[in-house]
Structure 1
Amino acid sequence: MFSLFKKESKVEKLQKKYEKLMSDWHKLSTTNRAESDKKYAEAERTLKEIETLQS
């Protein structure tokens, strides 16, 4: 019940973004290699930001 009012932390938001980027990367990897590489690079930047925040 109380989790309805709980705001997501910045790390949780970034983790969701990372998961979406990795999903998009995987889908694009079979059709558009250039776009796939862009998604992967963005996902890596997001992961580094998550690791920085957790430290």
Structure 2
Amino acid sequence: MFGLFKSDPTKKMRKELKQLQEKAMEMQRNGNIRDSSHISQQADELWNKIQALESQNK
């Protein structure tokens, strides 16, 4: 019951992850592979942080 009002710390991170993945996809479609891989690497690092936070909360 008390967790009802607690905000999800990963919600903002998941939104940012989605934006990074979409940006990487657009760069790849436009032929900008180098920048696409850089953005994808940032997304992977963010995903690892999300997973670490979720494993701590369980």
Band the TM-score falls in, shorter-chain normalisation: 0.7 to 0.9
The runs of 4+ residues in structure 1 deviating greater than 6 Å are none
Tell me the distance in 2 between the aligned counterparts of 1:8 and 1:25. 28
What's 2:43 paired with? 43
Tell me the distance in 2 between the aligned counterparts of 1:14 and 1:27. 20
Alignment-mate amino acid for residue 43 of structure 1: A
| Structure 1: segments with no counterpart, 5+ residues | 1-5
| C-alpha distance 8-19 of structure 1, shift in aligned 2 (>3 A) | farther
Larger radius of gyration: 2
In the alignment of these two chains, the number of paired residues is: 50
| Structure 2: segments with no counterpart, 5+ residues | none
**Overall identity of the aligned pairs, in %:** 20
Structure 1 position 10, deviation (Å): 2.5
Tell me the distance in 2 between the aligned counterparts of 1:41 and 1:10. 22
Look up the SS of the partner of 1:10 in the other structure.
Answer: coil
